[in-house]
A and B are shown apart, each in its own frame.
Chain A
């Protein structure tokens, strides 16, 4: 099983 990463851990809100 693989775990889905969240996009917010890569891109920051501006």
Chain B
């Protein structure tokens, strides 16, 4: 038996909206630690890793580990039937082929119950090695979203070069219209951590990435006020959105090679 009660349906809506365009179906792995998910996009260039720790739910019950194969697009549509502040309760029996979703209004005067069919998903689980990154940049998530949008839509760029030095982080593109760059400097004051740009750097690093993936990752912006970019030469970029202290959505993106 699995049961997880989330105070706000809104969080699950935001998570699904953040990942459903990149991966359309995935296995939700349920264990006593919480709910996790890992999935690659169809071209095997990027990977999503989700963790919702059990302490983010009240209650959370998992008698034995379960793998729930879910069509994320369908689940996102179903979640739209919940109001943002509805209490979400997910339940599944062991060996069940359905996941039950219950939405309860805060005043407890409306109860919606849905049964979602599960599917068998044959997915590869990838081992992600622990990495010491050359540079970790934390910035407001809205700023990251804005930069990705502007460099994509404004210049028509396909690839973005991200160069991190002590001075700051520079995003450059060359596109159909011309070329451009946006540089963010480290902010002096850290009074408001969510509004700061903080660079933790062991050595300068420059990498090239497909901009359209970064724009897709930015759909997770509503999940967190800040985002971190972790970069090392010759390894995938990690874009992480933390959900308070109860979990994260991480996106991994393979770099491009300069010819």
Chain A residues close to B by CB (< 8 Å): 1-14
Assess the A6–B127 pair: CB atoms within 8 A.
no
Chain B interface residue count, Cβ-Cβ cutoff 8 angstroms: 24
- How many residue pairs, one in A and one in B, have C-beta atoms under 8 Å apart? 55
Contact across chains for A8 and B44 when beta carbons are under 8 A apart: yes
Contacts of B208 in A (CB 8 A): 2
CA distance A12 to B216 in the complex (A): 24
State the main secondary structure of chain A at its contact with B: mixed
Chain B residues 33-49 with CB under 8 Å of chain A are: 40, 44-47
13 contacts between A and B (CB under 8 A): A2-B259, A4-B210, A7-B44, A7-B47, A7-B252, A8-B44, A10-B235, A11-B127, A11-B128, A11-B252, A13-B126, A13-B127, A14-B125
Cα separation A5 to B210 with both chains bound (whole Å): 10
Contact B257 A7 (CB under 8 A): no
Contact A3 B236 (CB under 8 A): no
For the complex, what is the distance from the CA of A9 to the CA of B252, rounded to whole Å? Answer: 13
Contact A7 B127 (CB under 8 A): no
Q: A10-B235, A10-B236, A11-B47 are in contact. Are A5 and B254 (CB under 8 A)?
A: yes
Is B127 a contact of A14 with CB atoms below 8 Å? yes
Docked-complex contact B159 and A7, CB < 8 angstroms: no
**Cβ of B130 under 8 Å from chain A:** no
Q: For residue A4, which residue of chain B has the nearest CB?
A: B256
Residues of A within 8 A of B245 (CB): none
A7's partner among B129, B236, B258 (CB-CB below 8 A) is: B236
Within B193-232, the residues touching A (CB, 8 Å) are 208, 210
From B126, B256, B257, B259, contact of A11 by CB (8 A): B126
Q: In the complex, A13→B125 CA distance in Å?
A: 6
